[in-house]
Structure 1
Amino acid sequence: MKEAAMYVQVLPRPGPEVIAAVRAKLVERLGTRVSVSQAMLDQHSHGEGLPAIGMPDLVVFPETNDEVAFVLALCNEHRVPVTPFGAGSSLEGQLAAVAGGVSLDTSRFDKILDVSPDSLDCRVQAGVTREALNAGIRDTGLFFPVDPGANASIGGMASTRASGTNAVCYGTMRENILGLTVVTPDGRIVRTGSRARKSSAGLDLTHLYVGSEGTLGVITEIQLKLYGLPETIVAAVCQFQSLEGAVAAVVTALQSNLKMARVELLDEMQMRAAINYSKLDYAETPTLFLEFQGTPNGVREDVEMMRTITEEHGGGAFQFAERPEDRNRLWKARHNSYQAVMALSPGKNNMGTDACVPIAALPACLLETKADIVASGLTAPIVGHVGDGNFHLGILFDPKDAEETARAEGLAFRTARRAIAMGGTCSGEHGVGLHKIVHMEAEHGEGVALMKAVKKALDPTGIMNPGKVYP
C-alpha cells in the first residue's frame, strides 16, 4: 500500500490558517496539552500493523468530558477532522489522520470511576487500560475478562468491538458493555444505557457506538460487566500432527457443549515463532492452548472430556500449567504472537489480518487459507480464537518490494472474501479502519447505505475519523 488515500475519499485537509485559528483556541483552553511536536505527530499518525500513515496537524490531551466537548464543538465549527486515539494498538488503520486535523488522545482519561462488587459492574474512563482495570479491582475478587492480547485502552476496545482469548466463555466487548458516555461531533455529552442488565426502552444507542471506530463521536466513559474470579483455573497444551486434527477437535468440543474459558489454535509456523521468541519447550506442530475454569470437580470433568476428544483427533498428551506463574508464562507467549511473528523476518512488516466464520465452516476455511498461504510463497502464521470461529494471519512482507506487497494484499483480500462467502465476516475483532473498507459492500450489501445514513445523521459535517469504515 502506498498511502491510505487509495482506499477512501475524505474531507479536504484544513488549510494552515484554519489550523492556526483552531490551535490558538485549543491552547487557550488546554494550554500545554496541545502538541505540534514532530515526534508526537509521528506517534499519532498510525497504529500497529498497517503501514499507511496519516499525519495529524495537532495532538490534544483532554482530561474531562467538558474539554472533549469543547474540542469537538470547535473542530465541528471549523470543519477540522478529529481522529480519536487510545493506546495505539489498532491494526487496520483506524488511527491514521488521513485528512489531517486533530488527533484526540484519551490517555489521560485514566480513572476507574466506580466499582460495585454487589452488582458486578464498574464505570471507567476511556483511557483506562485492560491491565490497569484488572489490577485496580483485584482486591474485590472480580475481573474484566475481555482480553485482546495487547494492553489496549477500554475506550479503544469499545470503539473497535474488541474480542480476544476469553470470548468463547465471556463474550466480546459488545456483550460486556452496559452503557457509555459519548461526546457528539457538535459537543453534546450523552449518556447511553444504564446499569441494568437488559432494557427494551428505545433504540440501543450504546451498541450503535460500540464498534463505530470513532466515526460517530468520542467515547469517554464505559459501564462494564465484571465477573467473579474462578475458584479453579487449569491451562493445558495439546499438540497435533495436523492442522485438520486440531481444528476438528475444537469443533467437536464445541458441538459437545464443552465449557472452555479459552481455546487458542497456533499452526506450526506460529509455534515456531512462539518457541523461538518466548523460549517454549514444545514441538513445531499445530497446537491448542486451552484453559478451563470453575469448581475443582467441574474443571476435572471438562479436562477429561477434552482429553478424550483430542485423542480421537490425533492429539498428544496434555501438558498442564496450574500455578499462576506457569499459566501467565503460557498466555504471555500467546499474547506475544505479534512480536514473535515479527522476529521471524526482521526488517519485514506484519500485515496482521483476521476473519471469522461459523463454527461448522471453520475447518474448511482454515485449511483453504493454509493452502492459499503456501501457494502465495509468503510467511503467514495462523493463530486463532477458534472457540468462536475467529482466526488471524500475520502476513510478513517487504514494503519496499512492490511485488511482495501485492502478494500480501492479495492474501489478506482472499482471506476476507473466503470468510464472507462461508457466511462469516471480514473481521471478527480488528475492525474495518482503512484496510477492510473494500469488503464492506460484499459483506453488508444494502446495509452499507443504512450505515452511511446513520453516519450522516450523527456527524453531518463528517469530521469524525473521516475516511474510515464507510465505503
Structure 2
Amino acid sequence: MSVEKAVAELETFLGQRLSRSKPDLEQHGGSESYFPLSPPDAVAYPEDAQEVAGILRICATHGCPVIGWGAGTSLEGQAQAFGGGVSVDFRLMNRVLEVNQADMDAVVQPGVTREDLNAQLRATGLFFPVDPGANATLGGMASTRASGTTAVRYGTMRDNVMALEVALSDGRVIRTGTRARKSSAGYDLTSLFVGAEGTLGLITELTLRLHGQPEAVTAAVCAFDQIGDAVQTVIETIQMGIGMARIEFVDAATAAAFNAYKGSDLPECPHLMVEFHGSESGVREQAETFGEIARENGARGFEWAERPEERTALWTMRHHAHWAILASRSGARAVVTDICVPISRLADAVEQTRADIDASPITGPILGHAGDGNFHCILLFDDADAEQTKAAKDLSARMVERALEMGGTATGEHGIGIGKLDYMEAEHGAAWSVMGALKAALDPAGIMNPGKMVPSGTNAIEAGSLSAK
C-alpha cells in the first residue's frame, strides 16, 4: 500500500482539485458524534463520474483507501478516514440533471442536497420527501439508507431511489435500475448499493422517486404526562391506519432543551409532534380521529400550526434538537444513537431505555420517529471523565441488545460505520459473512471505506486505528 504514490498521481490527474491543506483535511476528518478527529491524507473534488472512476483506478493501483464524503452529517463514523487515504468530496457534482414531471422522478448528481432539490422542484408541484433533518447530500443519504420525520408516510431512501450510477473500485462505472416503476430483470443492485456506506462503490448519479405536493397540510403538538401514554397514542394511531405524514416523539428533557435553545414555552413533559397531508376534508378527518385517540390516552390539548410559517417553526425546532440538546450541557460530548423496534414494542423499549438512563450518571434525552418504531438518544457525557464515557457507551450497547431481543435492529436510521460494527453479527448471524463475500467480490483490494460494515479481515486493507470504538 502506498498512499503517497496515489496522492502524487492524483495531484497530476486533478491539479488544484486535490487538496492537502490542513483545514481541508481536518474538515473531512471530523464527526458530529463522539469519534476522534481522523483526517484523510488528501481530499479529491471530482467534477463528473469519469473523474471519480479515474480516482478509483489510481487508488486501486496503489492500494490507497477511498472514503466518500457528502455533507459530513453521518453519526457513526461512516465518512471518517480512520486509516488515512483519500476523501472524495462530491460538492462539485451538485446538479439536478433532469426533472421528469409527468413520470414524477428526477435525476441528480450525488452532491445535490435535499433542500436544494426541493427548492428547484417548487414550481413543479412535486417534492422529494425523505427528511433526515440535516441538509444532507442525496448521495450520502442513499449511502446510509437515510430516513427521517416523513418515513411513516413516504418511506426511506430505500423506497425512493429508483436507479443509480456507481463507480466501482476498479474504475468501472455501472448503472443499476431504470426509470420504470418496477422490474423483474435480474438482481436488485440498486438496493445493494443503497445503505452500503461507500464500501462497495461510490454513487455518481441517482434517479429519485418524487411525490405530489399535498393540497392541504396541518400540524400540531400535544403534551402528555407520561412517556407511555404518548407512545401508546402512536401505536393506536398507526394501527388505526391513519395516514400520518409525521408523528414524532420527544421526552421531557428534549422539551426543556427546546425551551432553553429556541425560547419556546413547551410544558416540560413528553410531547407528540404530528403532521397530516392530503385534501382539505381528508386532513380534517385525520386530525379529528388522531385528536380522539390522543385525548383517550391523556393528552393535555393541542397547539395547531396551520399556516406555513407556523409549521416551519415547529419542524425547525424538531430538526434542531441535536444542537438544542448539546447546548443544554456546555462542553459535553455526545453518543448519538438510535434503534428501531416493532411498533408493538415501542412503549416498552422507550420506557426501559428511560429507566436505564435515569439510573446512570449521565443525561440522555429521548426523541424519535415514533411512527415507524425508531427512536434516538443523545447521551451527554464529559469525555475527560472515564466513568461517564463508559456509561454512555454501555447505555448505547444496552439499547441495541434490547432492540434485538424485541425483534428490532441496531439502527433504523444512523447506519453502521464503525460505531455499531460490533453488533452486526448478533443481528445478522451467518448473513454477515455473506455481506463480507459481496464486499470481497466487488472490492477485492479492499480500498472502499475499509474497516466499515463487514467482518474484520474481509478487506485486504483494514483501517489503521479503530480505537474510536
Into which bin does the TM-score normalised by the smaller protein fall?
over 0.9
Q: Which amino acid aligns with 1:448?
A: W
Q: Which amino acid aligns with 1:339?
A: W
Q: Is the 8 A contact 1:62 1:68 kept in 2?
A: yes
Q: Is the 8 A contact 2:381 2:389 kept in 1?
A: yes
Q: Is the 8 A contact 1:52 1:93 kept in 2?
A: no
In the TM superposition, what whole-angstrom CA distance separates every residue of 1:9-67 from its partner, at most 9, and x where no partner exists?
A: xxxxx5xxx33322222122211010111111111113311323322111110011000
Aligned-partner SS, 1:46 = coil
Aligned-partner SS, 1:180 = strand
Whether 2:224 is the aligned partner of 1:254: answer no
Task: Give the structure 2 partner of residue 324 of structure 1.
Answer: 308
Task: Give the structure 2 partner of residue 115 of structure 1.
Answer: 99
Pick aligned residue for 2:361 from 357, 377, 391: 377
Task: Give the structure 1 partner of residue 332 of structure 2.
Answer: 348
Q: Is the 8 A contact 1:111 1:128 kept in 2?
A: yes
Task: Give the structure 2 partner of residue 311 of structure 1.
Answer: 295
| 1:398 shift after superposition | 1.0
Whether 2:448 is the aligned partner of 1:464: answer yes
Task: Give the structure 2 partner of residue 4 of structure 1.
Answer: none
Whether 2:84 is the aligned partner of 1:86: answer no
Pick aligned residue for 2:343 from 356, 359, 362: 359
Whether 2:141 is the aligned partner of 1:157: answer yes
Q: Which amino acid aligns with 2:146?
A: A
Q: Is the 8 A contact 2:221 2:302 kept in 1?
A: yes
Pick aligned residue for 2:34 from 35, 50, 57: 50
Aligned-partner SS, 2:94 = coil
Task: Give the structure 2 partner of residue 442 of structure 1.
Answer: 426
Aligned-partner SS, 1:261 = strand
- Aligned alpha-carbon RMSD (Å): 0.8
| 1:417 shift after superposition | 1.1
Pick aligned residue for 1:302 from 286, 291, 307: 286
Whether 2:107 is the aligned partner of 1:138: answer no
Q: Which amino acid aligns with 1:35?
A: S
Pick aligned residue for 1:289 from 262, 273, 277: 273
| 1:281 shift after superposition | 2.0
Whether 2:11 is the aligned partner of 1:21: answer no
Task: Give the structure 1 partner of residue 226 of structure 2.
Answer: 242
Alpha-carbon distance between aligned partners in 1 of 2:3 and 2:35, rounded to the nearest angstrom: 26
In the TM superposition, what whole-angstrom CA distance separates every residue of 1:411-463 from its partner, at most 9, and x where no partner exists?
A: 01101111011000000010000010010011001111100000000000100
Alpha-carbon distance between aligned partners in 2 of 1:143 and 1:197, rounded to the nearest angstrom: 17
Alpha-carbon distance between aligned partners in 2 of 1:461 and 1:29, rounded to the nearest angstrom: 21
Pick aligned residue for 1:176 from 160, 163, 166: 160
Alpha-carbon distance between aligned partners in 2 of 1:47 and 1:141, rounded to the nearest angstrom: 36
Q: Which amino acid aligns with 1:138?
A: R
In the TM superposition, what whole-angstrom CA distance separates every residue of 1:47-105 from its partner, at most 9, and x where no partner exists?
A: 31132332211111001100000000110010000011110000001011111110111
Aligned-partner SS, 1:118 = coil
Q: Which amino acid aligns with 1:419?
A: A
Alpha-carbon distance between aligned partners in 2 of 1:469 and 1:53, rounded to the nearest angstrom: 20
Alpha-carbon distance between aligned partners in 1 of 2:24 and 2:401, rounded to the nearest angstrom: 36
Task: Give the structure 1 partner of residue 58 of structure 2.
Answer: 74
Q: Which amino acid aligns with 1:403?
A: E
Q: Which amino acid aligns with 1:69?
A: A
Q: Is the 8 A contact 2:3 2:63 kept in 1?
A: no
Alpha-carbon distance between aligned partners in 2 of 1:403 and 1:47, rounded to the nearest angstrom: 22
Aligned-partner SS, 2:359 = helix
Alpha-carbon distance between aligned partners in 2 of 1:53 and 1:470, rounded to the nearest angstrom: 22
Normalization by structure 1: what TM-score?
Answer: 0.96
Task: Give the structure 1 partner of residue 464 of structure 2.
Answer: none
Q: Is the 8 A contact 1:52 1:96 kept in 2?
A: no
After alignment, is 46-55 or 228-237 more displaced? 46-55
Q: Is the 8 A contact 2:361 2:388 kept in 1?
A: no
Alpha-carbon distance between aligned partners in 1 of 2:181 and 2:289, rounded to the nearest angstrom: 33
Alpha-carbon distance between aligned partners in 2 of 1:209 and 1:190, rounded to the nearest angstrom: 11
Q: Which amino acid aligns with 2:243?
A: K
Whether 2:414 is the aligned partner of 1:430: answer yes
Aligned-partner SS, 2:108 = strand
| 1:470 shift after superposition | 1.4
Alpha-carbon distance between aligned partners in 1 of 2:421 and 2:4, rounded to the nearest angstrom: 32
Q: Which runs of 5+ in 2 are unaligned?
A: 456-469
Alpha-carbon distance between aligned partners in 1 of 2:432 and 2:34, rounded to the nearest angstrom: 23
Aligned-partner SS, 1:292 = strand
Whether 2:390 is the aligned partner of 1:406: answer yes
Aligned-partner SS, 1:59 = strand
Q: Is the 8 A contact 1:34 1:59 kept in 2?
A: yes
In the TM superposition, what whole-angstrom CA distance separates every residue of 1:297-352 from its partner, at most 9, and x where no partner exists?
A: 10111011000000110002111001111100000000000000100101011110
Alpha-carbon distance between aligned partners in 1 of 2:142 and 2:34, rounded to the nearest angstrom: 20
Alpha-carbon distance between aligned partners in 2 of 1:128 and 1:143, rounded to the nearest angstrom: 14
In the TM superposition, what whole-angstrom CA distance separates every residue of 1:119-149 from its partner, at most 9, and x where no partner exists?
A: 0000000000010010011111110000000
Task: Give the structure 2 partner of residue 455 of structure 1.
Answer: 439
Q: Is the 8 A contact 1:47 1:94 kept in 2?
A: no
Alpha-carbon distance between aligned partners in 2 of 1:71 and 1:117, rounded to the nearest angstrom: 34
Alpha-carbon distance between aligned partners in 2 of 1:52 and 1:421, rounded to the nearest angstrom: 31
Paired residue total? 455
Whether 2:194 is the aligned partner of 1:217: answer no
Alpha-carbon distance between aligned partners in 1 of 2:240 and 2:7, rounded to the nearest angstrom: 59
Q: Identity of paired residues, percent?
A: 51
Q: Which amino acid aligns with 2:221?
A: V
Normalization by structure 2: what TM-score?
Answer: 0.96
Task: Give the structure 1 partner of residue 262 of structure 2.
Answer: 278
Q: Which amino acid aligns with 2:230?
A: A
